[in-house]
Structure 1
Amino acid sequence: MKYSLGFRLQLARRERGFSQKYMCQILKISAPTWSQYESDNKEPNLTKFRQIVKTLNVSADWLLGLTDHDANLKGGKKSAVPKTTKH
């Protein structure tokens, strides 16, 4: 299953212990804008995306859903997104 950009943003932010307010301050954006990123109602432009990757210390490929692995998240090379069980 592919997880959305918003889901991955929230997962990485929480793992780093960053608040939404902190991300807004770093990126110089409003709280509603960050909330829209995490709820998949808006996507960051390329400049903001680069800042997010650096701030959260994750790979762009992982954030974009091109891979389910990011060595900088808990679990290292293991999948950083939850596994779903098939019924």
Structure 2
Amino acid sequence: MSTITGERISYLRYEKDLTRDELSKIINVSKRTIVAYEQGTREPSLKTLRLLVEYFNVSADYILGYTNKPYCLDTILKEEKSFIILPKTIQESQTKYNSINDYISFIANKED
């Protein structure tokens, strides 16, 4: 387990002047879970990590300890020139796949 992640969550909570109980309600976990995160005995799930990123407006890399710079999520999104929007459902994935496949077939069969 990573104590860096716990230290970051504790620091971010302190910076927002939140109690463990308040943060637990914001990200929909128990107060005991917040304690476990901060003590480094438990890691947040991907869903919880996303909630922490969005609430504290920092990158996941910062929370996980991969960088020491708490980049603002808003800034990262503004600076991104292009990014891939992933499909939200399997059906949406299939629809996008079919569209791409149809386009490739069209280009491949196009007469010059």
Indicate the residue corresponding to 1:30 in structure 2: 30
Indicate the residue corresponding to 1:68 in structure 2: 68
SS of structure 2 residue aligned to 1:68: coil
Cα displacement string for residues 22-58 of structure 1 (whole angstroms, at most 9, x for unaligned residues): 1111122111111000100001110011001111121
Give the number of equivalent residue pairs: 70
TM-score under structure 2 normalisation?
A: 0.58
* Larger Rg computed on CA atoms: 2
Q: CA RMSD in A?
A: 1.4
TM-score under structure 1 normalisation?
A: 0.73
Shift of 1:71: 4.1
Structure 1 unpaired stretches of 5+: 73-87
Structure 2 unpaired stretches of 5+: 73-112
Percent identity over the alignment is 31
Indicate the residue corresponding to 1:46 in structure 2: 46
**Which structure has the higher relative contact order (CA within 8 Å, separation 6+)?**
1
Runs of 4 or more off by more than 6 Å in structure 1? none
